[in-house]
Structure 1
Amino acid sequence: MATLLRDAVQLTESQQLVRSSIGDICADFDHEYWRTRAETGEYPHKFVDELVEHGWMGILVPEAYGGAGMGTQETVVMMEEIAANGGGFSAAQAVHGGVYNSVPIVEYGGEDLKSNLLPRVADGEASIQAFGLTEPNAGSNSTAIETRAEASQDGDEYVINGQKIWTSRVDVSDYLVLVARTTPLENVEKRTQGISMFLVDLEDAYDQDALDIESIPKSASDFVHSYELWFDDLRVPAENLIGVEGEGFYQVLDGLNEERLVIAAECLGLGRLALERAVQYATDREVFGNPIGSNQAIQHPLAEAYARLQAAKQLTYNAADRAASDENVDLGAYANAAKFLAADAAYQAADAAVQTHGGFGIATEYDVERYFREARLTRLVPITQQLALNYLGEKVLGLPRSY
């Protein structure tokens, strides 16, 4: 069963290499390892160190800067395998930022910034795990952010004030990619203008006494911590501006669809994991002299979850192939559909896994309750299911804008 789900699509040679290498690393971290991380809330340092040692945190860093120089096709495999091999969605999220937050530097950073930082990211000396965008008054409506970055009179630095929320992995990051307004909303012609991206050295921010953080208690992704941040006259060197001032919103959007495909792959890995554990339990657990998996009330929900995961995987990997090609396609349509279907498939698989385990479904020793909590989270992040449908309704079906 697990092999069929894993082999649902034909992989390229480089994708097969990624799957084999990541699988070998994951094999050293069993269910107990991940269960303990969840119980203690401890970040999986040892696992991440293994990925670093084998060069996988630099999968999207170009070879010229010491990275693997791979793309979305390979990253979907990497993240699905991490999630599927015991760690679930949280394990993938523990490294997701460290992989993807280098992309804005690669695409828009100045040469000095790239040559100084990217080799250190590729070899694990530095990490960019944190991305600061969401604010208390600006959730999905990113153009409403209020955090302000003002250029100094001599132009040598920016002074940043404001607040961010749901910024993850700040505790294990050396740098933060921060999105702030360089032009107030009331002074721009379009809401999407006047937003910029900055690279913040977190140690320097603490040394300035310009950054306060507070952990946000939550019920999913136990070992991936999220924070609320306050900036008070944080001074950032002008050379840490990423790309062009005022065009940060468009820069954020540029890689959004490919990253969303990787999120879909993480959902698929979680679904695979939940289904595998459920099938194993349904095969081993006997009631009235027979395995409970022989009952259609158990069998059918698992079979349906399998079918939905298969379908979502076909779409996700097809979209990743399209992203790597020169085809002129609406990648946003693929990415939003893939995220929607993969999150729903993961949720259905996790729900079926809990139900299959009966009363043990809520026992932490069987792990499926954790998978269920994570699967519920996937329907909220990085966008809600409803926002994915909004995109498909408006951009694909041509229906009137709903928001």
Structure 2
Amino acid sequence: MNFDITEEQKMMLETARQIGERYGLDYWRKKDAAKEFPHEIWQAICDAGIAGMMIPEEYGGLGLGLVDLALCIEELCKGGAGSTLSQVFMLNPVFGGVAIALYGSDEMKRDLLPGLCDGSCTFSMALTEPDAGTNSLAMTTRAERVDGGWRISGQKIWITGVAASRKMLIVARTTQPQDGVKKTHGISLFMVDTAREGIGHTDIDKLGTHTLPSSVVYLDRVFASDAEVIGTIDGGWPQLLDILNCERIVTTSGLVGTGALALRLAVDYARERKVFGSRPIGSYQGLQFPLAQRWAELEAARLLNLKAASNFDRGLPFGSESNAAKLIASQAASGAAEQAMQVMGGMGYSRETHAERLWRDARLFRFAPVSEEMILNYISTVNLGLPRSY
């Protein structure tokens, strides 16, 4: 197993580092306070080719892999953004790029992938429902066959980035569950215009990730043509899992970057702050050990995440690795941000030291996009072979 970074990757990471630092902590504090989408940094990311990193060259991308993208996301989030920037990668290179590149038609690839690469086409995905939550197979959103396509009706919740998106990936049932047939049968994916007639949405007031609003989405007989189907009708469940497991990988990359940023802020403060004498507080093991513990956890999550990304790039199963990496990273990143606040004392509660924003944003990812309890369920049954509990 080779852990070396290639010269090409070093150049990409340097570009990502420069962008991340150019739009640093103060930029994100202002965007968070104003609840504004980070258009400027996203356009810079697109201009640098990072958004289209995994897109084939014929559609305007770089034709590289998920390992390359994961490394760049870490560096970008480490520069000041924290974990909220990784959500923009979920929306566009994953919900848009992975979905279309793997399962979209040739026409859809030609129409949408160049826009993803240059930033002119943005995406969201409508999956979660109020009465289903993590149990996506219990969704009640239905797509009914009509002349030339489908009519989609239902309600979704906690859908990120709707207002900033041009396209929405909608997950719906095209066939209802039947006795003797797996519940995974009957799920289908549609890529439609966000502004299409019948789609409405309202924002949810929330604790963090203010630069990306989350919404309740209402679908009232929304028309989707046959050309807007992603993958196969009724066979969308395994295709959806590929998209969601890639979502885990970019989430983890952002969390690893967030943890590194939080540790840097804590260490910088602990080196300078002196109380009860002339020694900096960073010399005390009571502060050192919790930070060291988080560093070790983040490094473990990082390596496991890169293994998951490498497996994806090589066409190997990657679900166990991507889920386990996300579990460790979400706990470590939110813990690192909270420990940074603790190191800073009262100043950690101040917006000017940035740690509180990192904590607010990172805390989300202990239960989203999949909760740590559901990841432990997955590991218990798939990796340990224990009987299913639900």
Question: How high is the TM-score relative to the length of structure 2?
Answer: 0.95
Taking the aligned partners of 1:188 and 1:123, their CA distance within structure 2 comes to 47
Cα 1:188/1:166, change in 2 over 3 Å:
farther
Q: Do structure 1's residue 20 and structure 2's residue 11 form an aligned pair? A: no
Query: What is the count of residue pairs matched by the alignment?
Result: 386
1:187, CA displacement in angstroms?
Answer: 7.5
Residues 242-279 of structure 1: CA deviation (Å, up to 9, x unaligned): 12111111210124333322221111111001000000
- List aligned pairs for 1:2-401, cutoff 5 A: 10-101=4-95, 102-128=97-123, 130-152=124-146, 154=147, 156-186=148-178, 189-203=181-195, 205=196, 208=197, 210-288=198-276, 289-325=278-314, 330-401=317-388
1:186, CA displacement in angstroms?
Answer: 4.1
1:220, CA displacement in angstroms?
Answer: 1.5
Runs of 4+ more than 6 Å apart: none
1:226, CA displacement in angstroms?
Answer: 0.6
Q: Identity over aligned residues, as a percent? A: 38
Residues 326-383 of structure 1: CA deviation (Å, up to 9, x unaligned): 6x5x522211211111112112211210110011111111111111122221211111
Residues 187-207 of structure 1: CA deviation (Å, up to 9, x unaligned): 78111111110011123x1xx
Unaligned runs of 5+ in 1: 1-8
Q: Do structure 1's residue 402 and structure 2's residue 389 form an aligned pair? A: yes
Task: Please say if residues 86 and 250 of structure 2, whose CA atoms lie closer than 8 Å, have aligned partners that are also in contact.
Answer: no
Amino acid at match of 1:53: D
What secondary structure is seen at the aligned counterpart in 1 of 2:219? strand
Amino acid at match of 1:229: V
Residues 59-112 of structure 1: CA deviation (Å, up to 9, x unaligned): 221112111212211111121112111000012213331111221111111111
Please identify, of 358-367 and 86-95, the stretch whose mean Cα deviation from structure 2 is larger.
86-95
Taking the aligned partners of 2:23 and 2:294, their CA distance within structure 1 comes to 26
Please identify, of 342-351 and 314-323, the stretch whose mean Cα deviation from structure 2 is larger.
314-323
1:44, CA displacement in angstroms?
Answer: 0.9
Taking the aligned partners of 2:128 and 2:246, their CA distance within structure 1 comes to 20
Taking the aligned partners of 1:366 and 1:344, their CA distance within structure 2 comes to 21
Residues 277-327 of structure 1: CA deviation (Å, up to 9, x unaligned): 00000011111222111122212211222222222222222333333336x
Taking the aligned partners of 2:203 and 2:311, their CA distance within structure 1 comes to 39
Taking the aligned partners of 1:99 and 1:257, their CA distance within structure 2 comes to 13
What secondary structure is seen at the aligned counterpart in 2 of 1:185? coil
Unaligned runs of 5+ in 2: none
Taking the aligned partners of 1:26 and 1:232, their CA distance within structure 2 comes to 40
Taking the aligned partners of 2:45 and 2:199, their CA distance within structure 1 comes to 30
What secondary structure is seen at the aligned counterpart in 1 of 2:150? strand
Taking the aligned partners of 1:133 and 1:362, their CA distance within structure 2 comes to 35
